[in-house]
Structure formats: C-alpha cells, structure tokens
Amino acid sequence: MFSISNKHEEFFDYLMTNAENFHRGALIAHEVMEDVSTISMHLKEIVKLEHTSDKTNQEVIFKLSRVFITPIDREDFYKLTCQLEDCIDSLQGALMRTSMYHVTEAPKAAIAMTEQIVTMGEELKKIFSFLKDIDHNEAKLMRHAERLNRLESEVDHIYRQEISRLFSGDETDLLNVIRWKDILGTLEEAADHVETLGNTIKEVTMKYALYVAHHHGRRPGSGL
C-alpha cells in the first residue's frame, strides 16, 4: 500500500543502485562501440555489473516478502526491480554478442544507439531520485518518463535505418549483416525495456496521485 511517510526507504536505494548499474552498463556499451578493441576488458565489467544487479534484485524480493508496509505497492517495487534487471541483461547480451561474433569495428548506427541509451540511463537515475519523494515530484516523474519514450523512438529510428541499409544490397559481407542484425536488435531491445520501465513509472505516479486524491482530498504540499 502507499505510505506517505516513506517507511523502508532502502527499497528506493536498491532501485537507484540498479539504475546506476544500468547507466554504467550503457557507458560501457558506448565505449565498446566507439572502440571495439576494448571489448575483452569491458565485457568482464558488465558481467560483474549484471551479477551485482541480480544480487540486488534478490535482496529486494527477499525484503518485500518480510515487510508489511512499503512506500509504494510491493508489486510495483517488484515490477520496477525486474524491469531494471531486464534493461541490464540486454546490454550484457549486446556486448556478449559483440565478443562472440569477433567484431572488429562497429557501424556509426551502433555508436549512435548506445549514445541515446546512455542518455536514457541518465534519465533513469533522475527518475529514481524523484521517486523517493513522489508526493512532491509527480510532474517531474511524468516529464522524465515521457522523455524516455522520445529517446526510445530515436533509438528505433536509428535501428530501422541501419537494418534497411544492411539489407539494401550495398553490404557485401553476409556475416557482417548477420552479426549486426543481432547486436543492433539486442541494443534496441535494451531501449524497449527502458521505455517499458518508464511506462511503469507513469502508472505508479498516476496510481499514487489517485490514491492521495481519494484518501486526502488533495495532494501533499498543494496547500488546498
């Protein structure tokens, strides 16, 4: 249930930790696409990040089962935690494919896509810092979640253009087509997961606003 007193704020800290892990993972992916020769070093780091995020996820699930009152609905905390992990998993998958396929150079589209995903990571960190004080940040949460939608659309646009180029007949290296169709698809999947997370944030924010309006007749801090 919602609790304006924000008991058990450590749940927000868990979300912020994994948002920071995603942002770091996005930076790693971008660095790899700019210089694929760094893949070996960076792959180890993102695997470690994924394991850390998985551990955080398990801690959240364990604590949710033992806490009676949470700052927001426990099912929403669970959903946000799992969706964040999906975002990180997709980034790891993209880098694992980059290594597995023995890629030596990334197309400009991959660099552009990861640049947008880095920005999405920055937005996620802002969102989870605002979520901790949801009653004063509803408008900010909605605005930044909407920005995630726009960023995902940009990633989609870059992805579609590059896939079209790969299959236009100008690319003579068939293995290269296969490699990048898969890698770019996994990067696009990461952006999709972030957008899904942003939509969940909007749902949680609207649910909170409705709860407060129903139980208190006004929103906290409205002065009405």
Whether pTM > 0.85 for this model: the answer is yes
Sign of the Cα pseudo-torsion (137, 143, 147, 148, in order): positive
Position 2 in a domain: no
Could you give the CA distance from residue 94 to residue 82 in angstroms, rounded to a whole number?
A: 19
Position 127 in a domain: yes
Confidence check: pLDDT of 166 > 50: yes
Owning domain of residue 74? 10-216
Position 221 in a domain: no
pLDDT band at 170 (very low <50, low <70, confident <90, very high): confident
Position 51 in a domain: yes
Helix, strand, coil percentages in the chain from 3-state DSSP, rounded to 5: 80, 0, 20
Position 223 in a domain: no
CATH number of the domain within which 95 lies: 1.20.58.220
Position 155 in a domain: yes
pLDDT digits (tens, 9 = 90+) for 23-36: 999 999 999 999 99
Q: What is the mean pLDDT of residues 192-220?
A: 76
Position 222 in a domain: no
In whole numbers, what is the pLDDT of the chain averaged over residues? 87
pLDDT of residue 223: 38
Position 42 in a domain: yes
* Total domains, the chain: 1
Write down how long the chain is.
224
Mean pLDDT check: name the lowest of 22-26, 80-84, 150-154, 162-166.
80-84
Confidence check: pLDDT of 21 > 90: yes
pLDDT digits (tens, 9 = 90+) for 37-74: 999 999 999 999 998 988 888 887 787 777 655 556 77
Burial 120-133 (b: 16+ CB within 10 A, else e): bbbbbebbbbbbbe
Confidence check: pLDDT of 5 > 50: no
Number of helical H runs and strand E runs in the chain: 6, 0
Inter-CA distances, 183 with 64, 79, 91, Å: 35, 26, 10
Angle between helix axes 108-131 and 10-34 (nearest 10 degrees) is 170
Give the E-state strand segments of the chain in sequence order: none
What percent of the chain has pLDDT above 90? Answer: 64
